[in-house]
Amino acid sequence: MEPFKYHVYMCTQQKPEGIPGCAAHGSEAVLNVLRAEVVKAGLDDEVQVTTCGSLGLCERGPNMVVYPEGVWYSKVQAADVPEIVREHFKGGRPVARLMNTDVAAVRTEIQENRRKARAAMAAQKKG
């Protein structure tokens, strides 16, 4: 059962200064515009917007994932949001220029970022 046509997960992960992440790339501003545009388009009963922690593509932020298709968008800026709402949420056509289409590369990048995070946490525990 899907209570919404689309469920959007928007990364708003805060990371220490100097470490790449969606918040450092302006995800809060994108999130605010996204929520407003969804309401403006009359889609607030069809599109659920949820914040989440890291999606693992930290250098490419802001990142968001749209389900049920599993479309991963990166480097989303506030100016991109009206197009995403119009084309994807209203028209059913994901915005190709913002999509991550190489699944293997995305998986590899996420795994590498997880490895870096684990190493950093282990170093903190030793320190």
The 10s digit of each residue's pLDDT in 22-36 is 999 999 999 999 999
- Does residue 121 fall inside a structural domain? no
What is the per-residue pLDDT for 30? 98
pLDDT tens string 18-71: 777 899 999 999 999 999 999 999 999 999 999 999 999 988 999 999 999 999
d(CA 111, CA 99): 19
pTM for the complete prediction? 0.89
- Does residue 108 fall inside a structural domain? no
Query: Between the CA of residue 99 and those of 61, 80, 117, what are the distances in Å?
Result: 12, 12, 24
Q: How many domains does the chain have?
A: 1
Domain interval for residue 27: 6-101
- Does residue 53 fall inside a structural domain? yes
- Does residue 39 fall inside a structural domain? yes
- Does residue 107 fall inside a structural domain? no
Q: What is the CATH number of the domain that holds 29?
A: 3.40.30.10
